[in-house]
């Protein structure tokens, strides 16, 4: 087993680690993107392919990330470096770890902006702005927010402040406590929203939209979408799960914990559809709205329903908490790297990382309004960052971790961490060496060819 513990501390329990990793994995994409994509790509047929991809791609790589993190007990870059050197391999493997740190930092720069949107809408919901709102007013509300860089900057700053407040308190005082409070709170709000949707909405149409298998719509593009969703929804390839693994106790089962994280993440994605699609269908609205589903369609639906204002507050609070827990994990690899590599205090490292991420986020904010005319290869700064991270850096990072764990680490090391006597070990080794890298490569090529 991985010896000792990280200089940053460790999780207080296995459950706390699972809650923290689930909070990292469960983000805005799980809550609104997965149900929409599933419904548009064959419903239950897509869900079946997604579940298969989670098992053969997501689960092996999440086990690999936790394994490398716990064995190395350092930030992703140095964990991979020390393990590579211990195996007599090139220290250049460390760049795979640095890629994860960089990817998480870039993603958080624009993710914090979107997290700010959830806070802005939470404030609007709290003041009753959605009551009897018209379709034109709902569209205008979102348009006005995106056109106003100062308002977006304010909420972006508030969101980054919330993330930093947790990060600078360290593992035991910050991350551990946040996981124990925020993730259960998120799940409770989600269940309350499901109850509201089931009692007031069109449950039958929602269930049919999400789960009725339509194999005629399950083409190559839909399969590729399922593979990509399985990979990206678990926060893989961005250093977050690896750094969380470095804080894991040595006597905690990695396979069991990984399976619990994957199960909870998938359950949230499925249940989220039952939380708001009944409301959407009950009001005769279009579920195929993409980002507009959250910021236009749902405010419109909730504004027309009994107790809609209260549940609008609950919904955007849930979104904000989901964004917050994910953002905390995205910043952690950079903070750990600064503490270990630059010998900075936790407070100083957190403030430096947050300041850099906050400043980079201004590019995405301005690209939606004042700088919208400036593009990179036809994309605004926000679109370019989103494309670079989601389509190139994340798959590369995930593939690198799978290859490192499967081919560079010795069987003795991986067997020690994962328990060679367990039946799952041989299956994991087969998947992480052959199936997962190949599948992620297919996703990468498909994303690049798809533009």
Report the C-alpha gap between 218 and 207 in whole angstroms: 18
Do the beta carbons of residue 45 and residue 347 sit within 8 Å? Answer: no
Q: Find, among 28, 296, 363, the residue nearest to 143 by Cα.
A: 296
Report the C-alpha gap between 100 and 178 in whole angstroms: 23
What per-residue confidence (pLDDT) applies to 39? 77
Query: Where does 283-297 have alpha helices with state H?
Result: 292
Count of CB atoms situated within 10 Å of the CB of 321: 24
In this structure, what are the phi and psi dihedrals at residue 376, rounded to the nearest 5 degrees? -120, 110
- Tell me the domains of the chain and their CATH numbers: 14-450 (1.10.4160)
Do the beta carbons of residue 398 and residue 240 sit within 8 Å? Answer: no
- pLDDT means over runs of 10, the chain (451 residues): 78 96 87 79 88 92 97 97 96 96 96 96 94 89 96 98 97 94 93 85 85 84 84 87 96 94 91 83 73 79 82 91 95 97 96 98 97 92 92 92 97 91 88 94 85 60
What per-residue confidence (pLDDT) applies to 1? 44
Do the beta carbons of residue 17 and residue 257 sit within 8 Å? Answer: yes
Give, in degrees to the nearest 5, the angle at Cα 110 between 104 and 111: 70
For residue 219, give every residue at least 6 positions away whose Cβ sits within 8 Å of its Cβ, in sequence order, or none: none
What per-residue confidence (pLDDT) applies to 288? 65
Prediction pTM value: 0.94
Report the C-alpha gap between 346 and 61 in whole angstroms: 29
Q: Find, among 272, 312, 384, the residue nearest to 33 by Cα.
A: 272
What per-residue confidence (pLDDT) applies to 451? 60
Report the C-alpha gap between 119 and 127 in whole angstroms: 13
Residue with tokens 């961005």: 238
Q: Find, among 329, 399, 424, the residue nearest to 20 by Cα.
A: 329
376: left (phi over 0), alpha (psi -120 to 50) or beta: beta
């Amino acid at each position: 087993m991985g010896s000792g513990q990280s200089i940053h501390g460790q999780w207080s329990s296995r459950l706390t680690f699972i809650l923290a990793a689930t909070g990292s994995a469960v983000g805005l994409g799980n809550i609104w993107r997965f149900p929409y994509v599933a419904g548009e790509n064959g419903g239950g047929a897509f869900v079946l392919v997604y579940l298969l991809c989670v098992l053969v791609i997501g689960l092996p790589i999440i086990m690999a990330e936790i394994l490398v993190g716990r064995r190395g007990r350092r930030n992703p870059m140095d964990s991979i470096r020390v393990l590579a050197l211990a195996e007599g391999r090139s220290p250049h493997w460390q760049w795979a770890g640095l890629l994860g740190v960089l990817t998480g930092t870039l993603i958080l720069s624009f993710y914090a902006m979107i997290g700010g949107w959830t806070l802005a809408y939470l404030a609007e919901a709290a003041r009753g702005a959605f009551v009897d709102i018209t379709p034109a007013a709902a569209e205008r509300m979102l348009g006005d927010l995106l056109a106003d860089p100062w308002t977006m900057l304010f909420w972006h700053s508030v969101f980054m402040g919330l993330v930093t407040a947790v990060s600078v308190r360290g593992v035991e005082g910050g991350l551990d406590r946040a996981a124990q409070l925020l993730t259960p709170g998120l799940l409770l709000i989600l269940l309350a929203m499901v109850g509201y949707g089931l009692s007031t909405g069109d449950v039958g149409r929602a269930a049919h939209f999400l789960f009725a298998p339509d194999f005629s719509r399950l083409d190559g593009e839909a399969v590729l979408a399922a593979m990509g969703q399985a990979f990206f929804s678990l926060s893989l390839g961005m250093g977050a799960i690896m750094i969380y693994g470095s804080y894991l106790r040595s006597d905690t089962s990695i396979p069991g914990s990984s399976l619990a994280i994957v199960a909870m993440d998938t359950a949230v994605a499925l249940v989220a559809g039952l939380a708001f699609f009944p409301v959407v269908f009950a009001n005769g609205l279009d579920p195929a709205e993409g980002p507009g589903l959250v910021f236009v369609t749902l405010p419109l639906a909730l504004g027309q329903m009994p107790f809609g204002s209260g549940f609008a507050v609950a919904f955007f609070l849930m979104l904000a908490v989901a964004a917050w827990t994910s953002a905390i994990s995205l910043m952690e690899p950079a903070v750990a790297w600064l503490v270990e590599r630059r010998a900075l205090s936790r407070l100083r490292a957190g403030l430096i990382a947050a300041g850099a991420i906050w400043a980079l986020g201004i590019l995405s904010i301005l690209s939606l309004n004042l700088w919208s005319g400036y593009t990179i290869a036809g994309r605004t700064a926000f679109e370019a960052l989103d494309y670079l991270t989601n389509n190139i850096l994340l798959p590369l990072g995930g593939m690198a971790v799978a290859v490192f764990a499967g081919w560079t680490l010795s069987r003795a090391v991986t067997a020690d961490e994962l328990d060679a006597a367990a039946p799952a070990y041989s299956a994991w080794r087969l998947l992480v060496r052959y199936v997962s890298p190949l599948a992620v490569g297919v996703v990468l090529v498909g994303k690049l060819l798809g533009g």
